[in-house]
């Protein structure tokens, strides 16, 4: 006896359907497709053979999922979202193996969005309605437009935007952000008719010994920098010219900071996930680091970062 619902006007040829999943009218599921539990497959959805769908997935009306697509748990796919699996299609010509397109856990795809073949949409990312996604999307990113561009990050709404209002900074020029250990620091400035000067005293304004520095510049507006955390290294960021936005994340809280003043520094302690984006034209970002470059100190996978922060929390 089936433990899922299939509308009498749907065609479900697969036996690999999870419990309590609902398949509605005029949907067609091919024999080798896999659909998890508690899913909602709406009217006029077509699911090809080499498709794997996780649990608690919603696929709204008019969506086609082609060979090579993997949809993880808790994903939402809006009406008429379009996927493709061949960048150079020809009639009656088929690839030996279709590129893997993966929609990771908790992501949402807006109505009428288009996802090109072979891309990964990161966990909890949000793709806006009508967006044309031409490149893989990192976790938690919000993508809009054609071509799709990252316009923000989930969890960094207006209430999470860090500012430098005087009432938020203490007598030492330090503002503690919501993200664990991360601080904004006002640097002393001198201004007169000859121009401006910003002083930066190591181990006073920069709360660690500096062993390395580098400068980031010439970044196109659409590009994303960072997307990693460090196990032991501290970093201190100052935007010397122009502006950029920095997302900081401790695994529980995510917050966004705009660096638009060379008299403002951002201290990121170890185990802080950092992303820099929305660089203005001509922006120059100075980064001071407590340690020499060590590739083993980098955590470049956000899922691994979350796992490590959870273990730290459990140990404490």
- Residue numbers annotated as active site: 228
Using an 8 Å Cβ cutoff, are 276 and 225 in contact? yes
The alpha carbon dihedral of 308, 311, 313, 316 has a sign of negative
For Cα atoms 225, 230, 231, give the angle at the middle one, nearest 5 degrees: 165
Cα gap 178→90, rounded to integer Å: 52
Reference 74, options 53, 101, 56; nearest CA is 56
What are the residues facing 202 on neighbouring strands? Answer: 206
- Cα-based torsion angle of the residue sequence 136, 138, 140, 144 in order, rounded to the nearest 10 degrees: -40
What are the DSSP calls for 146-158, one per residue? TTTEEEEETT--G
Rounded-to-integer distance, Cα 36 and Cα 18, Å: 4
Q: Hey, which residues does 244 pair with through a beta bridge?
A: 259
Gyration radius from the chain CA atoms: 24
Under a CB-based contact definition with an 8 Å cutoff, are residues 60 and 77 in contact?
yes
């Amino acid at each position: 006896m089936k433990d899922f619902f299939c509308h009498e006007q749907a065609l479900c040829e697969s036996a690999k359907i999870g419990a309590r999943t609902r398949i509605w009218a005029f949907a067609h599921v091919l024999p080798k497709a896999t659909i998890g539990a508690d899913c909602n497959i709406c009217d006029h959805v077509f699911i090809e053979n080499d498709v794997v769908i996780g649990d608690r997935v919603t696929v709204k009306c008019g969506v086609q999922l082609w060979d090579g697509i993997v949809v993880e748990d808790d994903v939402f796919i809006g009406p008429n979202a379009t996927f493709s699996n061949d960048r150079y299609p020809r009639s009656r010509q088929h690839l030996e193996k279709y590129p893997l397109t993966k929609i990771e856990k908790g992501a949402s795809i807006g109505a009428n969005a288009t996802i090109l073949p072979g891309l990964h949409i990161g966990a909890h990312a949000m793709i806006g309605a009508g967006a044309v996604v031409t490149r893989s999307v990192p976790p938690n990113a919000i993508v809009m437009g054609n071509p799709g561009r990252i316009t923000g990050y989930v969890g960094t709404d207006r209430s999470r935007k860090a500012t430098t209002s005087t009432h938020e900074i203490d007598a030492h020029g330090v503002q503690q952000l919501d993200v664990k250990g991360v601080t904004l620091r006002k640097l002393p400035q001198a201004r007169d008719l000859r121009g401006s000067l910003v002083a930066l005293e190591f181990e006073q304004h920069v709360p660690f010994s500096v062993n390395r520095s580098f400068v980031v510049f010439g970044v196109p507006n659409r590009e994303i920098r960072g997307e990693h955390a460090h196990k032991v290294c501290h970093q201190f960021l100052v935007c010397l010219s122009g502006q950029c936005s920095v997302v900081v994340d401790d695994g529980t809280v995510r917050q966004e900071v705009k660096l638009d003043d060379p008299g403002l520094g951002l201290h990121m302690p170890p185990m802080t996930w950092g992303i820099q984006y929305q660089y203005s034209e001509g922006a120059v970002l100075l980064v001071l680091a407590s340690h020499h470059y060590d590739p083993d100190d980098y955590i470049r996978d956000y899922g691994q970062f979350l796992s490590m922060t959870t273990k730290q929390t459990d140990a404490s």
